[in-house]
Amino acid sequence: MTETASFTVRRAGNAPVPSLPPFGQFIGGAFIASSSASTVDVENPATGEVLTQVPAGTVEDVDAAVAAAVTAKAGWAAKTPKDRAAVLLRIADIIEGNRDLLETLEAANTGKPAAVAEDDISSAIDTFRFSAGAARAFTTPGAGDYAENHTSVILREPVGVVGVITPWNYPLLMAAWKIAPILAAGNAMVLKPSEQTPLATLKLAELIASEVPSGVLNIVTGPGPVVGNRISEHPDVDLVAITGSVGSGQKVAASAASTVKRVHLELGGKAPVVVFDDADLEAAAKGVRAGGFWNGGQECGAATRVLVHESVAKKFIEVLVREVQEITIGAPGAEGDAEIGSMISSAHYDRVLAALEDIRKDGLTIAVGGNAIDGPGYFIEPTVVTNVPAGATIASTEIFGPVVSVETFSTDEEAVTRANETVYGLAASVWTTDSARSFSIPRQLDFGTVWVNSHLVIANEMPWGGFKGSGYGRDLSIYALEDFSRTKHVMYNHG
C-alpha cells in the first residue's frame, strides 16, 4: 500500500491467474481457426502485462459466422418460448456456477475492482433470468376485427440474424444485455466483443457451448473497422446493435444503411446531476461518489457533471471532496480490493490525462485529485473539478474516467436548460426534497433515464437507452424483446 498526496493505492500482489478461454473464433458451436494468423494482444491494464492473444478476425470469419447463424436461425425460431427460456435459465445457472472464474477473468482483463466484477456477473445472471421469464410473458394485442368480414392477428416474430458489437467497460454484462433478449426473442446472432476485452465473453461461449444449439450464438474477435464493419454491412444480418462511442455508432449506422437493416444504438453519455438547494447534500455527495466513480468513471451513465444551486455549492463541494478523498485506488482484489481500478488501456489513460491537462489550461480548479499514479498499470486519481463555467468543454464531452465537474446555477429554468445542453441524452439525476420539483424536473429533462435522489441504479425490468446522440433502441426490460423482434399483421377474410 502506498499513499499519494491524498489517496490510498493498493497494488496487485499475487493476483490469481485467470482461466483463459480457448484460442479461436466461436463459430457453429466450436472454437475454430480464424482465416488469418494475425492476433491482437489482450492486456491486464492493472499491471500492463499481456494476458494472451486472440485472433484479429477477418471479413471471411464474419461471413462464416453469419452463415452458421443463417443455418441455425429457423430451428431456434421454431422453439417455443418455454424451450428457449429453459436454455436461458441454464445459461444463468452456468454463469452462477462459474462465478469466481468469470469474475477473476473479467477483473484481470479490465483492471476493475473485484466488487465491480462481482456486481457485473450478478447483473448478467439476472439479465438471463429476466429474459427467460419475459420470453414467456411477451404478448401482442389480441386478435380483432377492424375491417368487415376480416379478422386481424399480430404475429411476433424474431428478426432473424442479429449482429452485436460490445464495448470494453462491462464486457460480459454488455454481452449479456444483448445475448439474453436476442436469444429470448428467437434470433440467431454474431457478436464481436471489444478487441481489448474479449476474454469473459469467449469463456462464456466455452461454458455454454453444449447448451445453445450450434450456430445460434457465434463470436468473432477482431478490430471494429474490419469485424464490426462487416457485421454492420453484411446482407444476411437483419439488425445490428452496438454499445459503444457515438463515433462508432455513426459508422455502424452508415454501414447498415446499404442493406437498410435495423440499427440499435447504445452510445455515450454525460449524465447531469442536478442538486437543488433543498437537497440532502450528504446523500447527493455520496450519490456522486458512488455513481460518478463506479468502474473508474468508465461508465456511460456516470454521474460526472454536477449542476448545484449556487446557494449550497460551497457546502456541497466540501462534502463531495471529503467523500472523494476516502476513495481507495488499486488492482482487483489487492489488499481487500479498492473502490476504483485502472483505466482500460494506456491509450485511454493518455486520453484522460490529456483532458486533465486541458482542464488546467482552462484555469479550472482541481479541488481534489487530478494526477496520474505511477505504474505499473494505468491508474488515475479520482478528481473533482470546480469553478466550471457554463458551456465549458468538460461539461459537455465524455471523459470516461474518474473526473467529476461541478457547475452552479441560479434558477430551476437555468438548471433544466443547462442540463439539456449536451449532445447526449442517456441518463440524469435530480436531487431534491421538494415533491413538486421531483415530479416536474424529470419531465423536462431530455434523458432516457432520470433518477430522483439516486444515480446509476439499474433494474432488469426497466428499459435502458438514450435520446439524441446517445442513440436509440432499448436494452433490458420487455422493450428489448420488442426491439429484437418484429410484428407481422395477418388478416383473415371470413366473409
Identify the active-site residue in 118, 195, 300, 323.
Answer: 300
Q: Which stretch binds ligand NAD (CB under 6 A): 6-14, 110-118, 227-235, 335-343?
A: 227-235
Check residue 243 for interaction with ligand NAD (CB under 6 A): yes
Provide the pairing of β-strand 427-431 with 150-158: unpaired
In whole angstroms, the minimum distance from the beta carbon of 228 to ligand NAD comes to 2
Provide the pairing of β-strand 424-425 with 427-431: unpaired
Check residue 292 for interaction with ligand NAD (CB under 6 A): no
CA separation for the pair 202, 225 (Å, rounded)? 20
Closer of 186 and 425 to ligand NAD (Cβ): 425
Contact assessment for residue 403 and residue 304, using Cβ atoms and an 8 Å cutoff: yes
Task: Kindly give the interhelix angle for 81-97 and 99-110, rounded to the nearest 10 degrees.
Answer: 70
Provide the pairing of β-strand 239-243 with 161-165: parallel
In whole angstroms, the minimum distance from the beta carbon of 12 to ligand NAD comes to 24
Distances (CA, A) of 4 to 1, 48, 357: 10, 20, 19
Q: Considering only CA atoms, which of 269, 260, 264 is closest in space to residue 249? A: 264
In whole angstroms, the minimum distance from the beta carbon of 246 to ligand NAD comes to 7
Check residue 224 for interaction with ligand NAD (CB under 6 A): yes
In whole angstroms, the minimum distance from the beta carbon of 229 to ligand NAD comes to 4
Q: How many other CB atoms sit within 10 Å of the CB of residue 199?
A: 26
Check residue 349 for interaction with ligand NAD (CB under 6 A): no
Q: Which stretch binds ligand NAD (CB under 6 A): 46-54, 264-272, 365-373, 384-392?
A: 264-272
Site pattern 149..178 for ligand NAD (x: CB under 6 A): ----------------xxxxx----x----
Supply the Cα-derived Rg of the chain in whole angstroms.
23
Catalytic residue flag (residue 300): yes
CA separation for the pair 127, 179 (Å, rounded)? 9
CA angle (286 as vertex; 296, 440 as ends), nearest 5: 105
Check residue 291 for interaction with ligand NAD (CB under 6 A): no
Q: Which of 252, 275, 395, 456 binds ligand NAD (CB under 6 A)?
A: 252
What number of CA atoms fall less than 13 Å from residue 124's CA on the CB side?
A: 30
Identify the active-site residue in 266, 299, 339, 482.
Answer: 266
Contact assessment for residue 276 and residue 431, using Cβ atoms and an 8 Å cutoff: yes
Q: Which of 158, 186, 268, 287 binds ligand NAD (CB under 6 A)?
A: 268
Helix ranges restricted to H, 15-141: 59-78, 81-97, 99-110, 114-137
Burial label for 157, CB within 10 Å (0-12, 13-18, 19+), is: middle
Enumerate residues 451-480 that contact ligand NAD by CB under 6 A: 466, 470
Site pattern 25..64 for ligand NAD (x: CB under 6 A): ----------------------------------------
Q: Which of 58, 98, 110, 194 binds ligand NAD (CB under 6 A)?
A: 194
DSSP 51: E
Q: Which of 125, 242, 256, 445 binds ligand NAD (CB under 6 A)?
A: 242
Closer of 10 and 234 to ligand NAD (Cβ): 234
What does the block give as the cell for 97? 456456477
Q: Which of 98, 109, 110, 229 binds ligand NAD (CB under 6 A)?
A: 229
CA separation for the pair 409, 421 (Å, rounded)? 13
CA separation for the pair 340, 410 (Å, rounded)? 33
Q: Which stretch binds ligand NAD (CB under 6 A): 221-229, 273-281, 361-369, 415-423?
A: 221-229
Contact assessment for residue 9 and residue 341, using Cβ atoms and an 8 Å cutoff: no
Closer of 244 and 341 to ligand NAD (Cβ): 244
Site pattern 386..425 for ligand NAD (x: CB under 6 A): ------------x-x-------------------------
Closer of 72 and 344 to ligand NAD (Cβ): 344
CA separation for the pair 133, 242 (Å, rounded)? 24
In whole angstroms, the minimum distance from the beta carbon of 59 to ligand NAD comes to 12
Across 348-484, where does the E strand assignment appear? 365-368, 383-386, 403-409, 424-425, 427-431, 449-452, 467-468
Enumerate residues 96-115 that contact ligand NAD by CB under 6 A: none
Enumerate residues 421-450 that contact ligand NAD by CB under 6 A: 426
CA separation for the pair 188, 482 (Å, rounded)? 16
Closer of 244 and 377 to ligand NAD (Cβ): 244
Catalytic residue flag (residue 266): yes
Across 217-271, where does the E strand assignment appear? 217-219, 239-243, 262-266
Catalytic positions, please? 266, 300
Residue numbers at the binding site for ligand NAD (CB under 6 A): 165-169, 174, 192, 194-195, 224-225, 228-229, 232, 242-245, 248, 251-252, 266-269, 300, 398, 400, 426, 466, 470
